[in-house]
Amino acid sequence: MSRFAAPIAEQIWDMKYRLKQANGTPIDQSVEDTWRRIARALAAVEKDPDQWEDRFFHALEDFKFLPAGRITAGAGTARSVTLFNCFVMGTIPDSMGGIFDMLREAALTMQQGGGIGYDFSTIRPKGAPVTGVAADASGPLSFMDVWDAMCRTIMSAGSRRGAMMATMRCDHPDIEEFITAKQDAARLRMFNLSVLVTDAFMQAVADDSAWNLQFDGRVYHTVQARDLWNRIMRATYDYAEPGVIFIDRINKANNLRYCETIAATNPCGEQPLPPYGACLLGSLNLARLVRDPFSTTARLDEAQLDDLVRMAVRMMDNVVDASRFPLDAQAQEAHAKRRIGLGVTGLADALLMVGLRYGSDAAVAQLDAWMRAIARAAYLASVDLAREKGAFPLFDADGFLASANMLAMDDDVRAEIRTHGIRNALLTSIAPTGTISLYAGNVSSGIEPVFAYEYTRKVLQKDGSRTEETVEDYAVRLWRELHGDAELPEYFVNAQTLDPMDHVRMQAAAQKWVDSSISKTINCPEDISFDAFKDVYMVAWEMGCKGCTTYRPNDVTGAVLSVPEKSEATPEADKGADVVYLSTPFDRPAALEGHTYKLKWPGSEHAIYVTINDTVINGHRRPFEIFINSKNMEHFAWTVALTRMISAVFRRGGDVSFVVEELKAVFDPRGGAWVQGRYIPSILAAIGGVIEEHLIRIGFIEGEGLGLKTDPQAARMVAGDTPKGHACPSCGAYEMVMIEGCMTCRACGHSKCG
């Protein structure tokens, strides 16, 4: 196989990781240049940079070690970016000034590309008295709305798509509102939500006992624990959120429990972190380490694995010294504890290459053995670094070795740590690897099963045309190179066919040897019963997982499978469909029906009038053009521009409801306004609301914050063996699927989680 095992790998490298000048001229002429750039940057902090540069290059070569995207794209570029992936921000004070100080810090972190997590349990509940102002508190959910608007603003300013995690304790008085918050499809779109579940709560669920919802020592409500658990489960069953984090288990296992308390995670959940905690990520590509694949002697090269782990730990430790940080508090935290998050990718492919079915007893045992080997090698490598460079500044042998994680570690490793210390407080984590997995030749992602053996991807060419190419899973391609058209063995399984408990067993086996946590999605069939669905979470709890994330396709969360994109050049509708898909604009009819809406913005002398005219195709109305007018001449230029741009979009056809979402996301830094009892962040957002109102009126979308009333392209079906997803907002391919807890595009690597 060539350096790039598949065309998509080279395309991802060129789009995401290849260093270029501002005008687009490549600086990295080859992927070897990219590897050399990274190796040189990380070796620069060593006493003998030349020696380590070559050794680091060898680890990166052929995609064996895959630093996370921020390292691959940013190391050695001299750009003012962070190489860290994950941040949990400071504890939110229960005061107005403190809350908005935290909002500012979040904006600065996201501006540099960091995904962030927050625990909103520290904000007093809705209705609680506010001393000195004769008012009641608005509660944490109202401030989450402000964070959400901030994230949209950062995104609209051209920065990397925002990603945030919000957590809330299971005993907070507003937990019931938190559980259902995202059932309003227009609310908190920039957040992933997870409930912090305690051991006491799980015991109360088992006992079916009462559960107090309290804040600052005051009990606000009392509910039945099992009823609250069922509410969490029902919301997750129907809406795929919130997730569940077993927070007491995380704190008991934490190597640093003697000097920190964790209450939040990064957006995908694989990094539980303390206030201002930061972590960087990297993955070992297990698929590249299998010798004699698909033979009776197939095996993982454990000697090479050990060498690669040791080199990866050294490289990641150097990132701590090479990286910039958005905030000084984050830099101090990172240097005091030197956390790294070394994980794996290509696991499912590696299992296939050695003849094991994902989720089987043999696969679980093999995963346990591989992860144990990785953990041992990582900890011993960090001990060696401590001998050479010193232990992390907050190291305390007694406290460190007393954690649940270290009590389960091998005795010889514990003895080495007690004698010599350790360089990195935590070392292992399994993160989402969607984009870097594509870059490595479409290996299976993280510890997930293979999602699909192959799929068809449309590629935009320089002349504007589109060609189709088949993207194969790495292991499937290798099998076909070795065996031609021979039928795939029965142990080839994918995410669509596995029982949910197979997922849980694999996650639990990996978690045993991972000191942080794991980003994984447990795929559930649409027809799974609610009781069986709840059992998935209980088994995850009983088997030692630190959290649980599921995805069950349905009418609310969206189907995993859909029909391929149509490409007719003339207006044509499927029988009974409400939406017509067009590839070229069509001529304006002589007469159109429409509505005019008056928009009065507080503080503005003149109203804005929005007229939307519709066309009718096969009996169905859809927007065709828009006119935005105002007597205020300050508005003239942008209203004309908006009129022309939105009208052009409308005339292209297809699902144009995204216009609403984009406009409603615009945040005016001078401040928004309250309109009819609702806070609107800008005039443009208000116009987006008018367009949404019109689309609802004509039946184009179902309701506020919702999608198409009937979308023939989202109809669920299986076309051969190839699952098709929703349209990607970045590249347009119909390949958005739920992988590792995030909607991710298999075609370009775009992820909702940043």
Closest CA to 754 of 71, 93, 211, 86: 86
Distance, CA of 585 to CA of 656 (rounded, Å): 13
Active-site residue among 268, 279, 548, 728? 268
Q: Token digits for 73?
A: 């794209």
Q: Token digits for 692?
A: 């949404």
Terminal-to-terminal C-alpha distance of the chain: 31
Query: Using the 8-state DSSP alphabet, how is residue 451 labeled?
Result: S
CA distances (Å), origin 538, targets 23, 179, 205, 459, 508: 53, 18, 10, 43, 12
Helix or strand or coil: residue 486?
coil
Give Cβ neighbours of residue 646 (< 8 Å, ≥ 6 apart): 626, 659, 691
Helix or strand or coil: residue 168?
strand
Closest CA to 265 of 253, 277, 282, 249: 277
Question: At which residue do the structure tokens 């600086």 appear?
Answer: 27
Query: Using the 8-state DSSP alphabet, how is residue 13 labeled?
Result: I
Active-site residue among 105, 241, 260, 270? 270
Please indicate whether residue 268 is annotated as part of the active site.
yes
Please indicate whether residue 468 is annotated as part of the active site.
no
Distance, CA of 356 to CA of 594 (rounded, Å): 61
Residue pair 483/453 in contact by the 8 Å Cβ criterion: no
Helix or strand or coil: residue 577?
coil
Helix or strand or coil: residue 296?
coil
Active-site residue among 85, 251, 254, 266? 266
Residue pair 741/432 in contact by the 8 Å Cβ criterion: yes
Please indicate whether residue 693 is annotated as part of the active site.
no
Q: What percent of the chain is helix, strand and coil (3-state, nearest 5)?
A: 40, 20, 40
Residue pair 159/113 in contact by the 8 Å Cβ criterion: yes
What is the dihedral angle through the alpha carbons of 406, 383, 278, 546, rounded to the nearest 10 degrees? -20
Closest CA to 290 of 343, 348, 341: 348
Q: Token digits for 89?
A: 């921000």
Query: Can you give 379-418 as a three-state secondary structure string?
Result: HHHHHHHHHHHCCCCCCCHHHHHCCHHHHCCCHHHHHHHH
Q: How many C-beta neighbours within 10 Å does residue 33 have?
A: 14
- Beta strand pairing call for 299-300 and 608-617: unpaired
Q: Token digits for 229?
A: 């658990």
Q: How many C-beta neighbours within 10 Å does residue 385 have?
A: 23
Give Cβ neighbours of residue 688 (< 8 Å, ≥ 6 apart): 659, 660, 661, 662, 663, 664, 666
Residue pair 34/19 in contact by the 8 Å Cβ criterion: yes
Active site amino acids: 266, 268, 270
